[in-house]
Amino acid sequence: MDSLYFSLLALSLIAFLPLSSSTYRQMSGGSSLSVENSDDVLMSPNGTFSAGFYPVGNNAYAFAIWFSKPTCLVLQHCTVVWMANRSNPVNGRRSKLLLLQTGNLILTDAGQFNVWATGTASLSTVRLQLNETGNLVLSSSDGTTLWQSFDSPTDTLLPLQPLTRHASLVSQITKGNYSSGFYKFFFNDDNVLRLLYDGPEVSSIYWPDVWLLSWQVGRFSSTGRRNAQMDSLGSFNSSDSLGFRSTDYGADGIQRRLTIDYDGNLRLYSREEREKTWVVSWEALAQPCRIHGLCGENSMCSYSPSNGRKCSCLEGYKVRNQSDWSYGCVPEFDSSIIASRDFTFIRIRNAEFFGYDYGVSENKTLKECETECLQKVDCKGFQYKFIGSRGFYDCYPKALLRNGHRPPNFDGDVYIKLPKAYVTLKKKELSKKTMSLGCPPNTSINLERSYAVSQDNGILKFMMWFACALGVVEIISIFLVWLFLNRGRGDENVAKEGYFLAATGFKRMTFYELKVATKNFSQEIGRGGAGIVYKGMLTDGRVVAVKRLNEANQGEAEFLAEVNTIGKLNHMHLIDMLGFCAEKKHRLLVYEYMEHGSLAEKLESHQLDWQKRYDIALGSAKGLAYLHDECLEWILHCDVKPQNILLDSGYQPKVSDFGLSELRDRGKLSSYSFSKIRGTRGYMAPEWVFNRPITSKVDVYSYGIVTLELVTGKSPRKGIQSLEGGQVEEMDLVTWVKEKRKGSETKETWIEGIVDPTLEDKYDKKKMGILVEVALECVQEDRDARPTMTQVVERLLRPNQPLIRKY
């Protein structure tokens, strides 16, 4: 009994011993690190970085460098900055990193194969050391550097690490898989830094925009040099004149990294030393669907801040490989149908498919463009784009349909060519689909791939059993420690999951900072249901509007998640959020300051001429259409009114006050019920009163009322006195306009009768007619009869086209 007890004790002592040993500061010739000993780690002097074996799969490891400060309880949560031969992980047994006396550094797999080596040699003694900057340096005793990890980056560039002509950043393949992926950040042949999608089938540059010459985007390459670097304060400079700064530029004690992510975007991340969350402090592309490659041929990319990117097949195509959308979609119809050579076209509104054009033909009618595509056997469809400045359409027949997406406000359509026989066959289904023409189905991309388990080299069953038992004990104690560390930190998971986007200018601010900026909240410029708005000035001189929300009635995590979503919305007709503050009970939002205040003020003082009014109607419709997004319904505004439409120095409207409580996707739409009525009397859709389901059409209704107010100059909040049959009657704005319409013979006269008298007759009669017509359609009682905001925009943009009724 005793002897058994002692042998168990001895065994557990042996098992625990490595845990108490210390990590290495440097390695000298003849020593090695073993994958089997989790403590075989090389650490930088102050512990910011560690290098060792990092688990990348089931029994699969890679030799890597990672951030080890702040401490990550589980190695998998540490952020990796470099890996040796990352596409070939090594076995979890008997794999080693060996530093030979001869000066070669090699990585062996399962004690048999060399997977990676520096190929260096030295006559004097060598040592391997991890610098505080994250650079793993192999040097000889005479001080020469034989090899350093900074010279061969993987997907991350650290501060002070140069990017040269010999190096490039290559993304990892998917979220959980560290293998080399298809996205590359590098100096192109023209010495300009670019982002490239280099897929198995095609490759294309997507940043900066290839149709712009490098000097148009401010890149100069004449020096012939290729060198870029980020300094420790967060400023990136390159020999091609690309320069940017992180939003926290200048702050000390912040960890930073520039990474090309598996989704193809290049991002600069920052993190305060003690925080767990990385914050995006700069990124190359604000619209992720501009990145090539994720959705393959014949598919469309869509994006919503809450759900990320999604791919979907075009009408008539089906996905080739459900587990990897980059393979794209293939025709659903068989080739015998194609042989009949009888084709028709299906329209996808506001879509762009970049590249693979046969050329461009200017000023074409739709018919001419169709003919052009029909004449080319391999033409898959065409882009039909309105050129606003010249007043006509251009036609781009396409050989391939790739890079499909819907940029906000894109004024063009794509028509895809399909066999007539197929379309007839599918007519029933297609006609059902026209309600959401071209909207992608809600299939999301599965980026996770399973990993093939490496072969196990037969081990003693007893050892296995023992290791398992130990593992359980360890897991339990780790879990207990974790529980202990996480007491009272409810938002931990949220923080770990995501990062908070801070595209240029968007950042978290302190309460003190905003108190100073607003001179202790002294200059009130507005007041609404959610809170009071103050004018202020930031330390960098920017004038801002600071909205102080009434009470913190939601947790910090929830608030951060919402702000994160709103902060990502980016549209010229939506107010820009510059930052936010969440400190104790305080919740503040910082917006750009709008010179001309709100539409309400300007309407009251009759300062708007016809052109401004039309632009305001169009601009706010565009802003709302973007919020609603035809396919995703990101955000309902729920309180569209002149007080929430702000005007910039050029009287361009920007919709404000959106997204503070409702962020949702289409899937939840029908089942969603609002806990309390929102909105403002006079602008509220009847659904609110009759307790019907709330959809984006409530905003359409409110928009219609605002438009009527723009036209008539009369506020819907006051009754209108009307002299009817000798009697003074009070009625609301909509009824009044409808009464006027009923009472007149011609359209011209009744519109004259309602137009704001201060406009006199200085307006475009035709456009005015359309504006009133659209407004009246928007304020219909039946929500399904109202147009969508996208349809409103289309109607106002092209007043000469007849209305195509789809709703």
User: Which residue numbers are catalytic?
Assistant: 639
Residue 783: closest CA among 700, 723, 659, 718: 700
β 299-304/404-405 pair status: parallel
Tell me the DSSP string of 335-379. Answer: HHHHHT--EEEEEETT-EE-S-BS--BSS--HHHHHHHHHHSTT-
Instruction: Tell me the per-residue interface mask from 377 to 406 with ligand NAG, x by CB under 6 A, - otherwise.
Output: -------------x-x--------------
Contact stretch for ligand NAG (CB under 6 A) within 30-38, 370-378, 397-405, 447-455: 447-455
Contact residue for ligand NAG among 12, 26, 79, 88 (CB under 6 A): 88
193 vs 603, beta carbon nearer ligand NAG: 193
User: Rounded to the nearest whole angstrom, what is the least distance from the CB of residue 230 to ligand NAG in the complex?
Assistant: 7
Q: Is 220 in the site for ligand NAG (CB under 6 A)?
A: no
Output 46 or 675, the one with its CB closest to ligand NAG: 46
User: Rounded to an integer, what distance in angstroms lies between the CA atom of residue 544 and that of residue 538?
Assistant: 7
Helix, strand counts (H, E) of the chain: 17, 46
Long-range pairs of 713-722 with CB within 8 A, sequence gap ≥ 24:
713/603, 713/606, 713/756, 713/757, 713/758, 713/759, 714/756, 715/603, 715/682, 716/682, 716/683, 717/680, 717/681, 717/682
Interface map 270-309 toward ligand NAG (x if CB under 6 A): ----------------------------------------
How would you classify residue 225: left for phi > 0, otherwise alpha for psi between -120 and 50, otherwise beta?
Answer: beta
Residues touching ligand NAG: how many (CB under 6 A)?
35
For 192, the 3-state DSSP assignment is coil
Residue with smaller CB distance to ligand NAG, 631 or 768? 631
Choose the stretch contacting ligand NAG; rule: CB under 6 A; options: 69-77, 113-121, 547-555, 779-787: 113-121
Q: How far is the CB of 364 from ligand NAG (least distance, A)?
A: 8
Q: Is the peptide bond before 159 cis (omega within 30 degrees of 0)?
A: no
* Binding flag, residue 85, ligand NAG (CB under 6 A): yes
Cβ nearer to ligand NAG, comparing 222 with 363: 363
Tokens of 250: 């200048």
Q: What does the DSSP assignment read for 116-155?
A: EE-----SS-EEEEE-TTS-EEEEETTS-EEEEGGGS-SS
Nearest approach in angstroms of CB 445 to ligand NAG is: 12
Q: Which two tokens stand for residue 297?
A: 């041929």
- The residue length of the chain stands at 807
Question: Does residue 442 touch ligand NAG according to CB under 6 A?
Answer: yes
Contact present, 40 and 33 (Cβ < 8 Å): yes
Question: By CB under 6 A, what part of segment 188-217 binds ligand NAG?
Answer: none
Note whether 177 binds ligand NAG by CB under 6 A. yes
Binder among 323, 434, 553, 691 for ligand NAG (CB under 6 A):
323
Report the alpha-carbon distance of residue 176 to residue 58 in Å, rounded. Answer: 12
Residue 231 binds to ligand NAG (criterion: CB under 6 A) = yes
Report, in Å, the least distance between residue 650 CB and ligand NAG. Answer: 27
**Which residues in 681-697 are b (16+ Cβ under 10 Å) and which e?**
ebbbbebbeeeeebbbb
Q: Give bridge partners of residue 160 from the DSSP assignment.
A: none
Q: How far is the CB of 277 from ligand NAG (least distance, A)?
A: 22
Cβ-proximal residues to 791 (8 Å cutoff; 6+ apart), any chain: 806, 807
Q: Which helix (H) or strand (E) holds 179?
A: none
Select the residue interacting with ligand NAG from 321, 446, 553, 749 (CB under 6 A): 321
Task: Please tell me the distance from the alpha carbon of residue 522 to that of residue 537, in angstroms, as a whole number.
Answer: 12
Q: Which segment (445-453, 582-590, 633-641, 656-664) binds ligand NAG by CB under 6 A?
A: 445-453
Closest to ligand NAG by CB, 620 vs 695, is 695
Give least dist CB 667 to ligand NAG, A: 3
Adjacent-strand bridge partners of 105: 99
Q: Which is nearer to ligand NAG, 157 or 594 (CB)?
A: 157
**Residues 30-69 within binding reach of ligand NAG (CB under 6 A):** 45-46, 56-57
Which of 125, 222, 363, 477 binds ligand NAG (CB under 6 A)? It is: 363
Concatenate the DSSP letters of all residues of 455-472 into one string.
PP----HHHHHHHHHHHH
- We find the least distance from the C-beta atom of residue 36 to ligand NAG, in angstroms, to be 20
Question: If you write DSSP's letter for every residue of 268-311 in order, what string do you get?
Answer: EEEEETT-S--EEEEES-SSGGGS-SSS-TTEEEEEETTTEEEE
Residue with tokens 């409103």: 792
Nearer to ligand NAG, 449 or 515 (CB): 449
The smaller minimum CB distance to ligand NAG, of residues 693 and 719, is found at 693
Nearer to ligand NAG, 137 or 205 (CB): 137
Which DSSP category does 518 fall into? T
Q: What is the 3-state secondary structure (H, E, C) of 748-787?
A: HHHHHHHCCHHHCCCCCHHHHHHHHHHHHHHCCCCHHHCC
Binding to ligand NAG in span 450-469, by CB under 6 A: 451-452
From the list 231-239, 461-469, 545-553, 672-680, the region that binds ligand NAG by CB under 6 A is 231-239
Binding status of residue 449 toward ligand NAG by CB under 6 A: yes
Restricting to residues 664-693, which ones interact with ligand NAG according to CB under 6 A?
A: 667
CA proximity to 591, closest of 699, 664, 518: 518
- The footprint of ligand NAG on residues 140-159 (CB under 6 A) is 145, 148
Which CB, 127 or 449, lies closer to ligand NAG?
449
Considering only 440-448, 564-572, 584-592, 768-776, which stretch makes contact with ligand NAG by CB under 6 A? 440-448
Pick the piece of the chain touching ligand NAG (CB under 6 A) from 110-118, 273-281, 539-547, 644-652. Answer: 110-118
Are 504 and 282 spatial neighbours (Cβ–Cβ below 8 Å)?
Answer: yes
Q: CB nearer to ligand NAG: give 396 or 500.
A: 396
- CA distances (Å), origin 191, targets 123, 156, 167, 432, 685: 38, 20, 13, 52, 57
Rounded to the nearest whole angstrom, what is the least distance from the CB of residue 239 to ligand NAG in the complex? 10
> Which residues sit at the interface with ligand NAG, rule CB under 6 A?
45-46, 56-57, 85, 88, 113, 115-116, 131-132, 135, 137, 145, 148, 173, 177, 179, 231, 235, 237, 243, 321, 323-324, 363, 390, 392, 441-443, 449, 451-452, 667
